[in-house]
């Protein structure tokens, strides 16, 4: 059993040991589908790379370590990881989730799994009473995302996990926006933590990958079975890139948070800005939960310009130069997005506006550049 490391060491060393063959400090990219056996069943723990691959296994151990869990699983994308969680359920089972969920998650739930007989309820989760009102005997899973995308609502994981436990309901948390640097949902009572490692974990916008981490051995066995049986795994090269990204997660996150803090305050004091959504601002409706639950407030923020409509918001994102107009988030470089036409275009307009995703909303993934250059870029674009 390895000694429990502090987070800033776990990112570099957690679950890792030098490679057994030559002592390589970074696990080699084992670009192989199969492994030689001396006699049928005579192998070194690896038979076929859908089931196990040494590079993926090194990543899975790292993922478990940084999320303070026992078992890690890596998948071909964040949505492939979510797909595996939903396959734990059966027709007739009900799921409660948030009403400003990541667009791709909403699409997976409603366009794929509803057809397989799962029933989804979308409620405002920043008020746990909305969950109590929806929970029933068929409820099997609560799917939390916090902070939410793009409204940055912060949901009280511990309160919901406590409520869920009373009803024997499993809790999964999409921890993509926060990263384990800011919060570790398993330590707050969640059963499953999921990541689009594409974002902060890998951190360099060069890989698409997903992960799950759990503590319970039976649950781990069921997820491992689904991972192998359905086969939505990631390859060794992507596993390697994600491992390399995780090693600098803590230093990147610190700078993401510092830069976002400066930009949130700059926007808040800007005469042309109507509203800024960042959990670190004291007037954010969930600021006190964020302060208690998270180590810092993250690198994601959204804002609305006074009097702006759909076209005016698009003009601003087009004018930005250092902020690249792109989907995705969590890389070292700053990105800007227009949720209504990009990440949230798959959510019906009435539904998205009800949760605050108006046409004028702009979302920023604040990178780790010099914040003075980022602010100068916003200044010239907002005008």
Ligand X SMILES: *Cc1c(COP(=O)(O)O)cnc(C)c1O
In sequence order, which residues have a C-beta less than 8 Å from that of residue 85 and are 6 or more positions away? 141, 172, 192, 194, 212, 223
Nearest to 360 by CA among 314, 318, 300, 301: 314
- Single out the segment in contact with ligand X by CB under 6 A; choices: 169-177, 179-187, 304-312, 362-370: 169-177
- Single out the segment in contact with ligand X by CB under 6 A; choices: 72-80, 216-224, 245-253, 354-362: 72-80
Q: Please indicate whether residue 311 is annotated as part of the active site.
A: no
**How many amino acids of this chain bind ligand X (CB under 6 A)?**
16
Asked if 199 touches ligand X (CB under 6 A), the answer is yes
Asked if 211 touches ligand X (CB under 6 A), the answer is no
Strand-pair partners of 276: 303
Which of 30, 102, 200, 277 is the catalytic position?
A: 102
Task: Give the contact letters, 271-300, x = binds to ligand X (CB under 6 A), - = no.
Answer: ------------------------------
Shortest distance in whole angstroms from residue 139 CB to ligand X: 21
Q: Please indicate whether residue 199 is annotated as part of the active site.
A: yes
Q: CB-wise, 77 or 184, nearer to ligand X?
A: 77
Q: DSSP secondary-structure letter at 342?
A: T
Q: CB-wise, 74 or 170, nearer to ligand X?
A: 74
For the residues of 212-241, what is the DSSP string, one character each? EEE--HHHHHHHHHHHHHH--PPPHHHHHH
240, 29 Cβ separation under 8 angstroms: yes
Please state at what angle helix 217-230 crosses helix 78-86, rounded to 10 degrees.
Answer: 110
- The CA distance from 75 to 84, in Å, is 9
Asked if 97 touches ligand X (CB under 6 A), the answer is no
For the residues of 76-123, what is the DSSP string, one character each? SSHHHHHHHHHTTS-TT-EEEEETT--HHHHHIIIIIGGGGT-EEEEE
Which of 199, 252, 352, 363 is the catalytic position?
A: 199
* Residue 56, token pair as written in the block: 């993926």
Residue from 54, 69, 104, 339 that binds ligand X (CB under 6 A)?
104
Shortest distance in whole angstroms from residue 327 CB to ligand X: 8
- Single out the segment in contact with ligand X by CB under 6 A; choices: 71-79, 126-134, 152-160, 262-270: 71-79
Asked if 208 touches ligand X (CB under 6 A), the answer is yes
Classify the C-alpha dihedral 257-155-171-3 as positive or negative.
Answer: positive
Task: Give the contact letters, 351-370, x = binds to ligand X (CB under 6 A), - = no.
Answer: --------------------
Task: Give the contact letters, 322-341, x = binds to ligand X (CB under 6 A), - = no.
Answer: --------------------
Classify the C-alpha dihedral 365-204-201-10 as positive or negative.
Answer: negative
Q: CB-wise, 139 or 196, nearer to ligand X?
A: 196
Residue from 59, 66, 79, 202 that binds ligand X (CB under 6 A)?
79
Asked if 98 touches ligand X (CB under 6 A), the answer is no
Burial 177-206 (b: 16+ CB within 10 A, else e): bbbbbbbbbbebbbbbbbbbbbbbbbbebe
Residue from 183, 198, 215, 355 that binds ligand X (CB under 6 A)?
198
Strands 192-196 and 273-277: unpaired
- Single out the segment in contact with ligand X by CB under 6 A; choices: 14-22, 74-82, 222-230, 253-261: 74-82
Helix and strand counts by DSSP (H, E) for the chain: 13, 12
71 by DSSP, 3-state: which? Answer: strand
Q: CB-wise, 81 or 170, nearer to ligand X?
A: 81
247 by DSSP, 3-state: which? Answer: coil
Residue from 77, 205, 242, 261 that binds ligand X (CB under 6 A)?
77
Residue from 83, 100, 145, 191 that binds ligand X (CB under 6 A)?
145
Q: Please indicate whether residue 50 is annotated as part of the active site.
A: yes
Which of 50, 107, 247, 255 is the catalytic position?
A: 50
Residues engaged in binding ligand X (CB under 6 A):
77-79, 102, 104-105, 145, 149, 174, 176-177, 196, 198-199, 208, 210
Task: Give the residue numbers annotated as catalytic, written as ranges.
Answer: 50, 102, 174, 199
């Amino acid at each position: 059993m390895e000694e429990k490391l502090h987070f800033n060491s776990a990112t570099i060393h957690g679950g890792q040991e030098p490679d057994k063959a030559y002592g390589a400090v970074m696990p080699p990219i084992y670009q192989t589908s199969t492994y030689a056996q001396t006699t049928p069943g005579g192998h070194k723990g690896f038979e076929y790379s859908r089931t196990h691959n040494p590079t993926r296994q090194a990543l899975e151990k790292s993922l478990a370590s940084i999320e303070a869990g026992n078992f890690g699983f890596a998948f071909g994308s964040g949505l492939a990881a979510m797909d595996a969680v939903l396959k734990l359920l059966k027709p007739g089972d009900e799921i409660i989730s948030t009403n400003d969920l990541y667009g791709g998650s909403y699409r997976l739930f409603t366009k794929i799994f509803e057809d397989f007989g799962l029933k989804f309820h979308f409620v405002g989760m920043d008020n746990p009473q909305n969950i109590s009102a929806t929970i029933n005997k068929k409820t099997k899973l609560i799917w939390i995302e916090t902070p939410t995308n793009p409204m940055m609502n912060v949901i009280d994981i511990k309160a919901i996990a406590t409520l869920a436990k009373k009803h024997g309901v499993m809790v999964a948390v999409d921890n993509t926006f926060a990263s384990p640097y800011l919060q570790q949902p398993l330590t707050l009572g969640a059963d499953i933590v999921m990541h689009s490692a594409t974002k902060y974990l890998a951190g360099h916008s060069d890989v698409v990958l997903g992960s799950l981490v759990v503590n319970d051995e039976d649950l781990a066995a069921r997820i491992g079975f689904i991972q192998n049986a359905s086969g939505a795994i990631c390859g060794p090269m992507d596993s390697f890139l994600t491992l390399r990204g995780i090693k600098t997660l803590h230093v990147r996150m610190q700078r993401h948070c510092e830069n976002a803090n400066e930009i949130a305050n700059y926007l808040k004091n800007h005469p042309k800005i109507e509203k800024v959504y960042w959990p670190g601002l004291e007037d954010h409706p969930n600021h006190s939960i964020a302060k208690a639950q998270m180590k810092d407030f993250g690198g994601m923020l959204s804002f609305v310009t006074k009097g702006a409509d759909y076209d005016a918001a698009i003009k601003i994102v087009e004018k930005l130069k250092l902020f690249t107009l792109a989907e995705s988030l969590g890389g070292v470089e700053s990105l800007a997005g227009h949720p209504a036409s990009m990440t949230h275009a798959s959510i019906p307009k009435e539904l998205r506006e009800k949760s605050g995703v108006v046409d004028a909303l702009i979302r920023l993934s604040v990178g780790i550049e010099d914040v003075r250059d980022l602010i100068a870029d916003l200044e010239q674009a907002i005008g």
